[in-house]
Amino acid sequence: MNFQKPPGTQDILPGNSELWQFVENTARDICRRYRFSEIRTPIFEGTELFKRGVGETTDIVEKEMYTFEDRGKRSMTLRPEGTAGVVRSYVENKLYGEPDLTKLYYIGPMFRYERAQAGRFRQFHQFGIEALGSSDPALDAEVIALGYMFYAELGLKGVTVDLNSVGTPAVRAAFREKLLAFLLPIKEDLCKDCQARMDRNPLRVLDCKVDQDKFTNAPSIVDSLDEECETHFARVRECLDEMGIPYNLNSRLVRGLDYYTHTAFEYKAQGIGAIDTIGGGGRYNGLVAEVGGDDKPGVGLGLGLERTLLLLESQGIKPDLGNNADVYVVALGDRAEKALPQLLQQLRTAGIAAERDYQGRKTKAQFKAAERSGARFAAVLGDDELDRGEISLRPVTGGEQQVVKLVDLAQTIQSLTSIDVKGNN
């Protein structure tokens, strides 16, 4: 029987995994600069957490969750997004008791049963951040700026920010009536999903990708904002202007999750398929209370790593991943062969990426393998050199060979490269 990966998943193979590490390390370094600390939550949680946190009328909860019953007859769900689990952990572990703002980030797999398409999988990966404990609109702008910097530092071009305010529950309740007055006359012309959403959560209709052209004259929630929401939104825009973060106002941006209040935003990019959203987020001031904690305000984002990688590919960006060998060691003779394990261990302990042949290949084939490894140098050790405590070092791509003392090999490689040697032979 031939086994295959489940539909909507992928194998991240060597050669590609290094690119993933580069993207993840970029995210981690930016979080370090913004003073966000990593949190790791379970891949599955109680189903009720996502129903209450994400919203029962969302596509995620209604159509896309991987839900199962465990042996204790409890309903569990593979996490479809990261925020609800982080907020649950924030409450359960009483992180709200810390005197300072809680700033967290995560990187990991999420699961949604949706139609696979370019950059979208049923198991996908997100980089996300959550800042909990402050209502300051400057924090909203900082979160948006962090995501924008992430894309910029990867070298991506053409990434834009769409920005909106979705107000408070009270604001949305008033806007709901205006929106329904607009939607009801055209209800029969809308798709089945929109018709169903009108009765339960009409704001979600604006998130429809099928009927966007029918909403040109729809009322704008921005026109329904109260003074508090207007002031908050104005300050967010002011902070973004001060930081030099460009954005587009998009009054139809509502996002696909019910917990957002005030600021909502998305990152957009062309060239990766019909869906141009590559990440997004917003403020969620009621979510902590919704999952059982004190009413603490929060704001965060989630960025899709698959779509980020697809965008890197589409723009032809090939970063130096630094995953090549530094030196390939070739043994000539039985005693030299027996000396290789110790020599390679010494080099690796010193911080040098060293490789050798394990397939009994001839010398010429080993030099070919050295080229494939990307090594800058080949170190050739024969029995006679071993007796003299020496080794020959030569550039793989051609150049002058030199003979160095075995005890000086790591330092010599260091002097010829930028390797930070951590120990001595």
In this predicted structure, what is the pLDDT of residue 425?
39
Per-residue pLDDT tens, the chain, 425 aa: give them: 889 999 999 999 998 999 999 999 999 999 999 999 999 999 999 999 999 888 776 778 888 999 999 999 999 999 999 999 999 999 999 999 888 899 999 999 999 998 777 667 999 999 999 999 999 999 999 999 999 999 999 999 999 999 999 999 888 888 888 888 888 888 888 888 787 777 777 777 877 767 777 777 888 888 889 999 999 999 999 999 999 999 999 988 877 666 789 999 999 998 777 678 999 999 999 899 988 888 899 999 999 999 999 999 999 999 988 788 999 999 999 999 999 999 999 999 999 999 999 999 999 999 999 999 999 999 999 999 999 999 999 999 888 899 999 999 999 998 888 655 554 43
Q: Give one word for 256, left, alpha or beta, with left for phi > 0 and alpha for psi -120 to 50.
A: alpha
DSSP E strand stretches across 116-255? 123-132, 160-165, 248-249
Q: Is 44 helix (H, G, I), strand (E, B) or coil?
A: strand
CA dist 84 → 130, 262, 423 (Å)? 10, 18, 45
In this predicted structure, what is the pLDDT of residue 406?
94
In this predicted structure, what is the pLDDT of residue 423?
45
Give CA 383 to chain center in angstroms.
Answer: 50
pTM greater than 0.85: yes
Q: Can you name the residues that pair with 45 across neighbouring β-strands? A: 77
In this predicted structure, what is the pLDDT of residue 162?
96
> What are the chain's domains?
17-167+225-314 (3.30.930.10), 327-416 (3.40.50.800)
Q: Rounded to an integer, what distance in angstroms lies between the CA atom of residue 409 and that of residue 425?
A: 8
184's CB contacts (< 8 A; 6+ apart) are 198
Q: Can you name the residues that pair with 125 across neighbouring β-strands? A: 109
In this predicted structure, what is the pLDDT of residue 100?
87
Residue type, 152: A
Can you read off the two tokens belonging to residue 339? 């000396």
